[in-house]
Amino acid sequence: MHLFLYGPPGSGKSTIGHILASRLGLPFVDLDAVIVASAKQTIRGIFACEGETGFRARESAALASAIADPPSVIGLGGGALLKPENRAQAESAGEILCFDADAATLEGRVARAPGVRPLLSTPVSDCVQPPQAGQGKPISQLLAERAAHYASFPRRVKVSDRPPEETADDTQAALGLYRVSGMGSAYTVCVGDGLLDTLGARFRELGCGDRTVIVGDSHTLPLYGERAAASLRALGVTVSLAEIPAGEATKTIATVASLWPAFLKAGIERGHAVIALGGGVVGDLTGFAAATWLRGVRWVGLPTTLLAMVDSGLGGKTGADLPEGKNLVGAFHPPSLVLADTATLATLPVRELRCGLAEAVKHAVIGDPGLLDTLPRFAFCKNSDAAAPCASLSGAAWLAPFVARAMAVKVRVIQQDPFEKGLRAALNLGHTIGHGIEKATRFSVRHGEAVAIGTVLEARLAEELGLAQPGLAAQLAGLFSGLGLPVAPPPGIDLAEVLAAMTLDKKKADGKVRFALPVRLGEVRTG
């Protein structure tokens, strides 16, 4: 699939295109540059000699040829998709993202490159001929003429005079697309509504052979196993299903050991990949079973909880709990592909959704405070029946971009520190106390709930140590409780047991318990 960047002249398609292509490991094609190279003259020169009709014919030919090439990021000219046949071709060859910008922003940018854009009335330094009738208009007029056209593209990103990297961040959130590298082979992470149906094609692209095992739990496999399997079977992949009981109590080495015979029976060999369909428990266990089967086979993550989408499904930490503590056995073994189908969140119980929101808040505190502005959309969580599914999320257009943005903080951190040598420890915000609370309550407090409580208590600790901005703990408590999350340990909890579990936590170093402490929204200190 190609990615097409579209929008008015000066909206940054080339600048953002270069950044995006480098982040995604794809080539960048600047369609205007291709046209100039093949015509051996400037765009203005082509307009002068051949008129707009001649230029548009060259543009259509260049577009068709770029589409025939392997997947790339393609920066389009500002009128390239005015022709319905060009638009239809691009729509069937990939995703189109259109940049929105106001006339003032565009005027400033266009003025910095005078004479390049023949349809605009910018100062001309290399004019071959005077502009033809209908040409040489101010950008505001061109924008007004094309307003309905640009607005007809559903995926749009507003550009302004922010740094281009920030616009590239928004573009990736709108596209729901990341590429994570740094730990073994790079892998693609896709977020979107309905992605389960694309599993077969994407699995085939990975070249993982003709068989697989889909591991799911007693909730996710009945809900989505057959749909995922159908997409694979349609492309000739033989699929076995392996079901494990739902819940944290399943996250044991005994469950991992029960998956190996399933892999053997399905004939999983070194070149194959297995698939994890479920929340963090299924992902951690399946990833670890994949890491240890035949000394390592590939795995694909299909996260179905919000928590697994924004957190556990990324970063390649796999493993199981021991009776003595959480995640004490494990391996770094990144997935080969992550497909986060946000449509699956419509069956997720509200209590589980809240848990994912706790991790999203954690990411906002670590590196994207602006994400907090989008939380009021989840206000319904506060008073909803915890056991009921989140049917209201079905088809919500804002959901996939929200999930993608909540993922972005973790993607950035694990890119820079894949093996938790330093920066990645920030992701443990709320987890040192949180893991102790989970353990001391025999997991009746869920992971995300424990992270919410742990984050508030760690913020309080940071305030007492004079590290955090005063009032931060109360601010965080307000955010979490607004989502229906607990912010204090349950009454009667054995604090000695919490402390004992914290001293066993694997985040210990040199015999000392380590914390990631919040300093203010957007900053966490580790040590």
Dihedral sign for Cα 199, 200, 201, 206, please. Answer: positive
Residue 428 C-beta: closest distance to ligand NAD, Å: 10
Residue 315 C-beta: closest distance to ligand NAD, Å: 5
H/E/C letters for each residue in 392-424?
Answer: HHCCCCCHHHHHHHHHHHHHHHHHHCCCCCCHH
Question: Exactly one of 247, 396, 520, 522 binds ligand NAD (CB under 6 A); which one?
Answer: 247
Could you say whether residue 248 binds ligand NAD (CB under 6 A)?
yes
Strand partners, 367: none
**3-11, 63-71, 122-130, 274-282 -> range binding ligand NAD (CB under 6 A):** 274-282
Question: Exactly one of 143, 355, 452, 483 binds ligand NAD (CB under 6 A); which one?
Answer: 355
Residue 131 C-beta: closest distance to ligand NAD, Å: 57
Residue 287 C-beta: closest distance to ligand NAD, Å: 7
Burial of 391 (0-12, 13-18, 19+ CB in 10 A): exposed
**50-58, 109-117, 242-250, 294-302 -> range binding ligand NAD (CB under 6 A):** 242-250
Could you say whether residue 344 binds ligand NAD (CB under 6 A)?
yes
Q: Between residues 142 and 355, which has the closer beta carbon with respect to ligand NAD? A: 355
Q: Between residues 72 and 318, which has the closer beta carbon with respect to ligand NAD? A: 318
Question: Exactly one of 170, 352, 463, 505 binds ligand NAD (CB under 6 A); which one?
Answer: 352
Could you say whether residue 193 binds ligand NAD (CB under 6 A)?
no
Closest CA to 381 of 371, 393, 395, 364: 393
| CA pair distance 474, 52, nearest whole angstrom | 61
Q: Between residues 45 and 280, which has the closer beta carbon with respect to ligand NAD? A: 280
Tell me if residue 487 falls in helix, strand or coil.
coil
CB atoms within 10 A of CB 265: 11
Paired sense of beta strands 337-341 and 211-217, if any: unpaired
**41-49, 192-200, 277-285, 505-513 -> range binding ligand NAD (CB under 6 A):** 277-285
Map residues 29-48 to x or -, x wherever contact with ligand NAD holds by CB under 6 A: --------------------
Residue 184 C-beta: closest distance to ligand NAD, Å: 15
Residue 495 CA: distances (Å) to CA of 322, 424, 501, 508: 20, 28, 10, 19
Task: Decide: 445 and 451 in contact? Cβ < 8 Å.
Answer: no
Map residues 303-342 to x or -, x wherever contact with ligand NAD holds by CB under 6 A: -xx-xx--xx--x-x--------xx---------------
Q: Between residues 171 and 312, which has the closer beta carbon with respect to ligand NAD? A: 312
Question: Exactly one of 41, 89, 252, 347 binds ligand NAD (CB under 6 A); which one?
Answer: 347
Rounded (5°) CA angle 495-352-225:
130
Could you say whether residue 286 binds ligand NAD (CB under 6 A)?
no
Structure tokens belonging to residue 159: 């550009």
Could you say whether residue 105 binds ligand NAD (CB under 6 A)?
no
Task: Decide: 94 and 2 in contact? Cβ < 8 Å.
Answer: yes
Could you say whether residue 251 binds ligand NAD (CB under 6 A)?
yes
Could you say whether residue 292 binds ligand NAD (CB under 6 A)?
no
| CA pair distance 110, 107, nearest whole angstrom | 5
Q: Between residues 231 and 304, which has the closer beta carbon with respect to ligand NAD? A: 304
Question: Exactly one of 284, 368, 449, 458 binds ligand NAD (CB under 6 A); which one?
Answer: 284
Residue 441 C-beta: closest distance to ligand NAD, Å: 14
Task: Decide: 391 and 398 in contact? Cβ < 8 Å.
Answer: no
Residue 462 C-beta: closest distance to ligand NAD, Å: 21
CB atoms within 10 A of CB 262: 19
Residue 511 C-beta: closest distance to ligand NAD, Å: 23
Residue 25 C-beta: closest distance to ligand NAD, Å: 23
Task: Decide: 219 and 304 in contact? Cβ < 8 Å.
Answer: no
Counting residues that bind ligand NAD (by CB under 6 A) gives 31
Q: Between residues 36 and 276, which has the closer beta carbon with respect to ligand NAD? A: 276
CA 342 to chain centre: 11
Residue 178 C-beta: closest distance to ligand NAD, Å: 16
Residue 261 C-beta: closest distance to ligand NAD, Å: 22
Could you say whether residue 434 binds ligand NAD (CB under 6 A)?
no
| CA pair distance 170, 394, nearest whole angstrom | 23
Task: Decide: 10 and 166 in contact? Cβ < 8 Å.
Answer: no
The backbone torsions φ and ψ at residue 228, rounded to the nearest 5 degrees and listed phi first, read -65, -40
What is the amino acid identity at position 183? M
**187-195, 243-251, 254-262, 264-272 -> range binding ligand NAD (CB under 6 A):** 243-251
Q: Between residues 21 and 339, which has the closer beta carbon with respect to ligand NAD? A: 339
Q: Contacts from 136-145 at CB under 8 Å and sequence distance 24+? A: 138/103, 138/107, 139/8, 139/9, 139/10, 139/103, 139/106, 139/107, 139/110, 140/103, 140/107, 142/8, 142/9, 142/78, 143/8, 143/103, 143/106
Under the rule (CB under 6 A), what is the footprint of ligand NAD?
217, 219-220, 223, 246-248, 251, 278-282, 284, 304-305, 307-308, 311-312, 315, 317, 326-327, 344, 347-348, 352, 355, 447-448
